[in-house]
Amino acid sequence: MDGKTSFTPEQIRHYGDELYNAWLTRATVAPLLAREPLITLDDAYRIQERFVARRLEAGERIVGKKIGVTSKAVQDMIGVNRPDFGQLTSGMAFDEGQDVSLAGLIQPKAEAEVAFVLKADLNGPGITATDVIRATDYVVPCFEIVDSRITDWKIKIQDTVADNASCGVYLLGKAKKKVTDLDLNLAGMVLERNGELFSTAAGAAVQGGPVNAVVWLANTLGALGIPFKAGEVILSGSQSSLIPVVVGDHMRCTVGGLGSCDIRFV
């Protein structure tokens, strides 16, 4: 963020509350950019803060962060050349073995990635890859189910940022390893949907590697005074295309050298 804002505090509250109510009622709203052509990225992040604050006021807590818009295809779709970020709350968290209900989501899409679970704080800026590796307890394969409160996913960067980076829910796999026990950049990921191969990828496709993605996120948030905390989950960015999901779907992602993660939707 660069400090450029155009919105008043009243506008920030209005749109943050609108997105919170859309999440609460499983409704959608028209794209913000279409209604507010002067909205800046800073405005969008302030709206995100309001949206998340409403969820915290309702009893949730922050349990981690996510990096989004890491693939070139998605960046091209919304017209940007850099990732964004969102906050993970306790109400979003699932563990492998738990069925994920789609009843609380609006227009969900699944993506497979690697999650970092921290054992130490990270306070950027100035964080290096070595710092991230030292602060990471272990990594796990995971699924993030992104969900947009914006009608028909007609999003630009301001829309998805305001909408907390299109956070839905996430599920952590049981397989875990130390970062130093595998090469995440070269590790291949295979994604299967209902028993059929859907896609393959390698970690290097995400910001040059998952560790680099976490470095970027730690430094970006650190510059805003937002630290990473021990015990938090950091989602490092999708290594797959977005897959619309429906009740009954079963997916598995397998990361070479790390293991597999299964998710079922009910």
With contact defined as beta carbons under 8 Å apart, do 100 and 94 qualify? yes
What is d(CA 225, CA 54) in angstroms, rounded to the nearest whole number?
20
CATH of the structural domain 61-264, one choice from 3.30.428.10, 3.90.850.10, 3.30.200.20, 1.10.1040.10 = 3.90.850.10
With contact defined as beta carbons under 8 Å apart, do 132 and 164 qualify? no
The bridge status of strand 169-172 relative to strand 136-146 is antiparallel
Domain boundaries, the chain: 61-264
What is d(CA 124, CA 121) in angstroms, rounded to the nearest whole number?
10
Q: Which residue has the higher pLDDT, 77 or 103?
A: 103
Please say if the pLDDT value at position 103 is more than 70: yes
- pLDDT (tens digit per residue) in 168-214: 999 999 999 999 999 888 888 999 999 999 988 776 556 668 999 99
Instruction: Record the tokens describing residue 260, joined without a space.
Output: 């597999």
If DSSP states are collapsed to H, E and C, what string results for the chain? CCCCCCCCHHHHHHHHHHHHHHHHHCCCECCHHHHCCCCCHHHHHHHHHHHHHHHHHCCCCEEEEEEECCCHHHHHHHCCCCCEEEEEEHHHEEECCCCECCCCCCCCEEEEEEEEEECCCECCCCCCHHHHHHHEEEEEEEEEEECCCEHHHCCCHHHHHHCHHHCCEEEECCCCECHHHCCCCCCEEEEEECCEEEEEEEHHHCCCCHHHHHHHHHHHHHHCCCCECCCCEEECCCCCCCEECCCCCEEEEEECCCEEEEEEEC
**Would you state the pLDDT for residue 122?**
95
pTM of the predicted model as reported, rounded to 2 decimal places: 0.93
Using a pLDDT cut of 90, give the percent of the chain over it.
77
